[in-house]
């Protein structure tokens, strides 16, 4: 990675209760499968276009367990996937996701992009 580039974490967000997800689930099975095929093709095309920026493809995220001082419990959140990439700026990293299939084809709600910071004192 060049000195001009920074690592960024992109987190894909989507809720099971969102209107987009409710509409997706309500689709006839054949139509939903066709959209899934189209969506995956568009996602692979996005990966191909941005392969030089992708450091870790990441993937979908499963069920969540939250651990705190009280122990371990099953929870849920809107996190649905992640990707790690490199870009010259936060704006450039975010721009890679404009029009992404996560929310243009699939019922995902948004993508959050944040810099991966150095560990203080490391």
pLDDT in tens, 43-76: 999 999 999 999 999 999 999 999 999 999 999 9
Angle at 14 between CA 74 and CA 79, to 5 degrees: 45
Separation between Cα atoms, residue 66 and residue 80, nearest integer Å: 16
pLDDT-based confidence at 115, cuts 50/70/90? Answer: very high
Q: Residue 3: its pLDDT value, please? A: 53
Token couple for 17: 């209760």
Beta pairing partners, 44: none
Token couple for 58: 């990441």
Q: Which CATH architecture has domain 6-115?
A: 2-Layer Sandwich (3.30)
pTM of the model: 0.89
Where are the domains positioned within the chain?
A: 6-115
Q: Alpha carbon of 68 to those of 73, 74, 85: distances in Å?
A: 9, 12, 30
pLDDT digits (tens, 9 = 90+) for 72-92: 999 999 999 999 999 999 999
């Amino acid at each position: 990675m060049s000195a001009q580039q920074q690592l960024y974490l992109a987190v894909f967000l989507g809720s099971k209760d969102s209107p987009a997800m409710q509409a997706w689930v309500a689709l006839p099975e054949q139509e939903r499968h066709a959209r899934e095929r189209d969506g995956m093709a568009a996602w692979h095309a996005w990966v191909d276009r941005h392969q030089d920026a992708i450091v870790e493809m990441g993937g979908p995220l499963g069920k969540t367990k939250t651990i705190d001082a009280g122990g371990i419990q099953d929870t849920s959140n809107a996190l649905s996937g992640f990707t790690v990439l490199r870009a010259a700026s936060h704006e450039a990293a975010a721009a890679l996701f404009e029009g992404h299939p996560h929310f243009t084809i699939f019922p995902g709600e948004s993508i959050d992009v944040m810099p991966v910071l150095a560990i203080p004192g490391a």
